[in-house]
Amino acid sequence: MTSVSPQPFTSLRLDRISRRFGRIAALSELSLEVARGEFLALLGPSGCGKSTTLSCLAGLQPLSSGSIWRDEERIDTLPAEKRGFGMVFQNYALFPHLSVQRNVEFGLAMRKAGRDERREKARAALRTVQLTGHEHKRPGQLSGGQQQRVAIARALAFQPQIVLMDEPLSNLDAGLRVELRAQIKRLHESLGLTTVYVTHDQSEALSLATTVVVMREGRVEQIGPPEQLYSAPESAYVARFMGYRNTFTATVEQADASHARVAVGGDTLQGSLMSAAPVARGDEVTLAIHPDDLVLATPGEAGTIGATVEVVEYHGRAVEAEVSTASGEVLRLSTDQRVRRGDTLALRVRPERVLVYPGAETSQLRELAEQVA
């Protein structure tokens, strides 16, 4: 069987792919297009099908139905090694008994490269991830971050056009994660790669991706550039993944086609309708407010919500505070002003930053809140 064409491609297309495990539908007719040069992040809670999507794309799992295309060439019928993808996984997947150099050469050997070519390309890939000088070490002699860089070098050594990464940073501690994240972004840009990247971490998705796909139960919930998903999440579910940590139920007092006034405890807020479905006086709706959008106002000011500070976490330049409203809603806010436990606050939010979705907050969304801190 021949490999995919070495020519540059325009787009990679997943066409209504499904993957079932017995009665579980891990993917349900998922369609997705990835343009050349894009950094596409698949984001969503545990079990929504992110890894299955990547693994079907890579050819590590067969599809139950649907097809995958690289321009006009159908590739889901090709075995993994013929699809031409570089792959990086969460657990590095390095051979512990082989040197760093031999680990990186491995993918090239699989592709039947000669000895000199293997050596040279592996050296070049290690240089790219700044590991020159570590060639003769075993993986066990390296830190987690260095091991993951070896795995990245191995994925890049045969100069693939497309790289697939499944939670590559999740085994690293916070500092290393941020450092390697920047390195992954630099590599993507300088090598002109197309990257498909699985993560459950919204800050990783927002900082790396040119396109974010929020997945839900084996389907695409919303796809778009990070700024678009952040400023206009189409559902409270997507809002949660974009860092809107305050989601709760409120009652509509008055509404037109694009705005609603809602009651929150004894206070009222003006909000923006995010869905085409109309809402009317008396309806329950879900509000989503980002912690950065809750601003301290003068107590008693009209259009503000009263709240009492319960917990204050110091975060250097800003503090994060947990406050409770008169009706018992717990809200989180981020502020650079001095607040202390027990303070009574008035909080203001611009109407365009109070996102309103039809229907009361679902139990699924509440559970999600626990996963997406």
Ligand X SMILES: Nc1ncnc2c1ncn2[C@@H]1O[C@H](COP(=O)(O)OP(=O)(O)OP(=O)(O)O)[C@@H](O)[C@H]1O
The count of other CB atoms within 10 Å of the CB of residue 54 is 22
Q: Give residue 120's identity as a one-letter amino acid code.
A: E
Dihedral in degrees, nearest 10, Cα atoms 115, 118, 120, 126: -140
Nearest CA-CA partner of 249 in 332, 368, 363: 363
Instruction: Give the CA count within 13 Å in the CB-facing half-sphere of 143.
Output: 10
| Residue 74, helix vs strand vs coil | strand
Which CB atom, from 4 or from 60, has the smaller least distance to ligand X? Answer: 60
Which CB atom, from 16 or from 127, has the smaller least distance to ligand X? Answer: 16
Nearest CA-CA partner of 136 in 94, 106, 99: 99
What is the nearest approach in angstroms of ligand X to the Cβ of residue 45? Answer: 7
What is the nearest approach in angstroms of ligand X to the Cβ of residue 351? Answer: 35
Which CB atom, from 200 or from 261, has the smaller least distance to ligand X? Answer: 200
- The tokens for 331 are 């809200």
What is the nearest approach in angstroms of ligand X to the Cβ of residue 99? Answer: 31
Give residue for tokens 């807020």: 269
Integer Cα distance of 199 and 209 in angstroms: 11
What is the nearest approach in angstroms of ligand X to the Cβ of residue 34? Answer: 17
CA angle 333-338-342, nearest 5°?
75
Q: Give me the residues paired with residue 74 across strands.
A: 69
What is the nearest approach in angstroms of ligand X to the Cβ of residue 47? Answer: 4
Which CB atom, from 107 or from 218, has the smaller least distance to ligand X? Answer: 218
What is the nearest approach in angstroms of ligand X to the Cβ of residue 49? Answer: 4
Which CB atom, from 198 or from 321, has the smaller least distance to ligand X? Answer: 198
CB 133 within 8 Å of CB 166: no
What is the nearest approach in angstroms of ligand X to the Cβ of residue 54? Answer: 8
What is the nearest approach in angstroms of ligand X to the Cβ of residue 46? Answer: 3
Which CB atom, from 46 or from 190, has the smaller least distance to ligand X? Answer: 46
Nearest CA-CA partner of 235 in 359, 363, 51, 369: 359
Integer Cα distance of 152 and 93 in angstroms: 11
Which CB atom, from 217 or from 322, has the smaller least distance to ligand X? Answer: 217
Which positions touch ligand X (CB under 6 A)?
21, 24, 26, 44, 46-52, 200
Which CB atom, from 18 or from 270, has the smaller least distance to ligand X? Answer: 18
Strand order in the sheet with 344-348: 295-297, 344-348, 305-315, 318-325, 330-335
| Residue 180, helix vs strand vs coil | helix
Strand order in the sheet with 24-35: 24-35, 11-21, 65-70, 73-74
